[in-house]
């Protein structure tokens, strides 16, 4: 019965409440990626479509002056813009076409690494099927029912469209004298208390009091000063007591 | 250890890492990043520690962001395009084609079968062509290959200066068709099958009709050269599409998603080869096939040589163990 007591080789992760997608790196770190849903991707695609139309329009006007040579170049250009625009931008600009960059999206492999030539080519060639039978219907259905919002091209190419990371701003903790917690806290409780202190600026005073009141009794705090005391505990968790 | 102490102790290290990261992301001056892997693994350890000790969300989130960016630099798929391309052309592509011979055979039978079949039918029953292709298109085709007109190709009044136009047009048109044939294979292979059959039908009907009304000489001498690459490429694109579809129909012991991913990785190689073939085909079509100064006999001989070359290339290139790397 030894094998039952051995720890499982790959511990199962608790699925997050939101749509984050956990990727385990070779270093044993779980990286959360935030897959992008249908509406924001649709907007990004529309921007790209408009931009492509603009590029073609401007260059066709220029090429019209070149006569026959211009017509040949024009067909080549149409080919490049319609089939290669996305691929070139995605591979050369860290997974971001202009539309995606505008909307704060990027394309990555499922393991979180930047998208490469073959995956990008695949997902953009298979766009043809996602467009069928009209107006991205198959792609939209696939995107809506998939846990990480993949269209068919993404499933086949093994790629993921995620929200790019935004730079974080250090939150200011409310002033309070650091103190010890009256009872021993578990890790998640510690993080919850720290989260309470860090996010206090974003909450209304009434909500802050309401949340603090919930904790007053289990933590043996005096109800009227619960907020200040919780902040003190959070400060105590951060720095010296 | 308290969080503030932890942060103070490693702050300088994290800032150095952020600098190295920025340098890598901008892709320039990568000389001073030799210790990047070590720094990255240290950062991973710090993140694990921070999580394990229940430090604040802000610290964990910002470490996670740094690790994610580091991960993307560390494990990015680098490809040396130049060296790979040569190896792919000389050995890789024909190997993939032989490896996927079942799909290539199926696609070839579908495409060339319908091409030859409908060609024969139209040749034997000439009226049939009007059931397959609209009458005005048939007339347009006849205009293009009329022996009394001096020029060949997509329009009757074609001049040599228009070679460029046609080159661009052929690339746009043919590679577009090949991409469609491939991509629609995702619909359980039905799309690829349809496009193979349909394109075979159209080409066959046109060939049969033109031969039947006596324009055979101009038509066949025009198409035989680039046909070697163009028709083979369409069939191969269809084979790649059928492979996608088959992975969904019969995934074997894998999940359908996994089977599809593996099949797609293989078939994208076929598609790359197809693009290469179509580039060659467009070149031949624009600059060789359309020449009217060359006698049909020369064109037939060269065309036959090209067909033989394509067959030999696909069958035998890259068979030796020490293929050019």
Express each pLDDT in A164-199 by its tens digit: 888 888 887 888 788 888 888 888 888 888 888 888
Measured distance CA(B320)–CA(B119) in Å, rounded: 39
A76 & A130 share domain:
yes
Interval B277-313: pLDDT, tens? 988 988 888 888 777 777 878 888 888 999 999 999 9
Give the pLDDT confidence score for residue B198 in this predicted structure: 92
A147 & A206 share domain:
no
Q: Is the pLDDT of residue B320 over 90?
A: no
Measured distance CA(B288)–CA(A138) in Å, rounded: 42
Q: Is the pLDDT of residue B161 over 60?
A: no
Shortest Cα distance, chain A CAs vs residue B249, angstroms: 14
B176 & B307 share domain:
yes
Q: B205 with B135: CB under 8 angstroms? A: no
Measured distance CA(A70)–CA(B175) in Å, rounded: 20
Q: Which residues pair with A159 in a beta bridge?
A: A109
Residue A160: name the closest of A70, A31, A61 by CA.
Answer: A31
Interval B213-233: pLDDT, tens? 878 777 888 888 888 899 999
Residue B102 half-sphere exposure toward CB, CA atoms < 13 A = 4
Measured distance CA(A141)–CA(A146) in Å, rounded: 9
B206 & B244 share domain:
yes
**Cα B79–B80–B86 angle (5° rounding)?**
120
B87 & B67 share domain:
no
Residue range(s) defining the domain that contains residue A217: 187-238
The number of distinct structural domains making up chain B is 2
What number of C-beta contacts closer than 8 Å exist between A and B?
164
Residue B158, Ramachandran bin (φ over 0: left; ψ between -120 and 50: alpha; else beta): beta
Q: B207 with B229: CB under 8 angstroms? A: no
Q: Residues of A with CB below 8 A from B64's CB?
A: 31-32
Which of B74, B90, B110 terminates a domain? The answer is B74
Q: Is residue B322 part of a domain?
A: no
The number of distinct structural domains making up chain A is 2
Give the pLDDT confidence score for residue B150 in this predicted structure: 53
Q: Is residue A10 part of a domain?
A: no
Interval A90-103: pLDDT, tens? 888 888 899 999 99
A43 & A159 share domain:
yes
B274 & B308 share domain:
yes
Q: Residues of B with CB below 8 A from A71's CB?
A: 164-165, 168
B91 & B161 share domain:
yes
Give the pLDDT confidence score for residue B43 in this predicted structure: 92
Question: Nearest CB to A118: which of B55, B182, B268?
Answer: B268
B49 & B112 share domain:
no
Residue A142: name the closest of A127, A163, A122 by CA.
Answer: A127
A210 & A154 share domain:
no
Which of A107, A129, A163 terminates a domain? The answer is A163
Interval A14-54: pLDDT, tens? 667 788 888 888 888 888 889 998 999 999 999 999 999 99
Q: Quick check: helix, strand or coil at residue B190?
A: helix
Q: Residues of B with CB below 8 A from A27's CB?
A: 41, 44
Instruction: Give the residue-averaged pLDDT of B166-195.
Output: 87
Q: Alpha carbon of B173 to those of A225, B144, B168, B177, B178: distances in Å?
A: 75, 18, 9, 6, 9
Q: Is residue B321 part of a domain?
A: no
Question: Nearest CB to A72: which of B61, B165, B176?
Answer: B165
State whether A79 and B54 contact (CB < 8 Å). Answer: no
Shortest Cα distance, chain A CAs vs residue B127, angstroms: 33
Residue A175: name the closest of A224, A233, A238, A232 by CA.
Answer: A232
Measured distance CA(B164)–CA(B169) in Å, rounded: 8
Shortest Cα distance, chain A CAs vs residue B208, angstroms: 30
Q: Is residue A168 part of a domain?
A: no
pTM of the model: 0.82
State whether B260 and A156 contact (CB < 8 Å). Answer: yes
Residue range(s) defining the domain that contains residue B109: 81-316
Which of B74, B98, B121 terminates a domain? The answer is B74
Which of A101, A131, A163 terminates a domain? The answer is A163
Q: Alpha carbon of B316 to those of B91, B97, B267, B302: distances in Å?
A: 9, 11, 20, 20
State whether B48 and A29 contact (CB < 8 Å). Answer: yes
Q: B318 with B94: CB under 8 angstroms? A: yes
Q: B145 with B215: CB under 8 angstroms? A: yes
């Amino acid at each position: 019965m030894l094998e039952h007591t051995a720890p499982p080789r790959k511990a199962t992760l608790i699925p997050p409440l939101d749509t984050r997608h956990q990727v385990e790196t070779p270093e044993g770190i779980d990286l959360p990626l935030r897959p992008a849903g249908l509406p924001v991707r649709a907007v990004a695609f529309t921007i790209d479509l408009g931009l492509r139309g603009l590029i073609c329009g401007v260059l066709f006007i220029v090429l019209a002056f070149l006569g026959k040579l211009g017509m040949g170049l024009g067909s080549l250009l149409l080919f490049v813009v319609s089939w290669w625009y996305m691929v070139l931008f995605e591979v050369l600009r860290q997974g971001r076409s202009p539309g995606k960059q505008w909307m704060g999206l990027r394309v990555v492999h499922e393991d979180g690494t930047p998208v490469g030539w073959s995956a990008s080519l695949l997902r953009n060639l298979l766009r043809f099927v996602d467009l069928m039978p009209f107006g991205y219907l198959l792609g939209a259905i696939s995107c809506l029912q998939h846990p990480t919002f993949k269209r068919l091209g993404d499933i086949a190419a093994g790629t993921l469209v995620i929200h790019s990371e935004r730079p974080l701003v250090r939150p200011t903790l409310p002033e309070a004298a650091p103190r010890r917690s009256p009872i021993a806290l578990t890790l998640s409780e510690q993080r919850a208390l720290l989260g309470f202190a860090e996010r206090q600026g974003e909450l209304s005073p009434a909500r802050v009091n309401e949340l603090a009141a919930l904790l007053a009794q289990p933590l043996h705090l005096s109800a009227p000063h619960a907020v200040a005391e919780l902040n003190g505990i959070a400060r105590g968790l951060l720095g010296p007591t | 250890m308290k969080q503030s102490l932890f942060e103070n102790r490693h702050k300088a290290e994290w800032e150095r890492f952020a600098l190295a990261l920025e340098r890598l992301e901008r892709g320039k001056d990568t000389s001073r990043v030799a210790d990047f892997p070590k720094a990255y693994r240290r950062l991973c350890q710090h993140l694990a520690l921070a999580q394990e000790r229940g430090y604040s969300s802000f610290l964990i989130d910002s470490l996670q962001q740094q690790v994610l960016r580091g991960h993307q630099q560390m494990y990015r798929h680098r490809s040396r395009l130049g060296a790979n391309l040569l190896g792919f052309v000389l050995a890789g592509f024909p190997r993939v084609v032989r490896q996927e011979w079942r799909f290539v055979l199926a696609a070839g039978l579908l495409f060339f079968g319908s091409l030859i079949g409908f060609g024969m039918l139209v040749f034997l029953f000439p009226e049939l062509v009007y059931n397959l292709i609209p009458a005005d298109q048939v007339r347009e085709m006849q205009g293009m290959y009329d022996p009394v007109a001096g020029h060949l190709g997509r329009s009757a009044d074609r001049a040599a200066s228009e070679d460029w136009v046609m080159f661009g047009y052929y690339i746009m048109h043919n590679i577009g068709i090949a991409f469609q044939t491939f991509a629609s294979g995702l619909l359980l292979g039905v799309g690829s099958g349809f496009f193979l059959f349909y394109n075979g039908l159209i080409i066959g009907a046109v060939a049969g009709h033109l031969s039947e009304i006596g324009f055979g000489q101009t038509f066949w001498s025009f198409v035989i050269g680039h046909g070697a690459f163009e028709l083979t490429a369409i069939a191969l694109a269809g084979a790649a599409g059928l492979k996608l579809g088959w992975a969904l129909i019969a995934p074997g012991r894998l999940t359908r998603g996994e089977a599809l991913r593996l099949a797609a990785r293989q078939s994208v190689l076929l598609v790359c080869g197809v693009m290469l073939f179509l580039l060659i085909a467009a070149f031949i079509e624009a600059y060789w096939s359309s020449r009217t100064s060359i006698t049909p006999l020369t064109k037939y001989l060269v065309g036959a040589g090209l067909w033989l070359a394509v067959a030999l290339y696909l069958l035998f290139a890259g068979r030796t163990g020490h293929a050019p790397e």
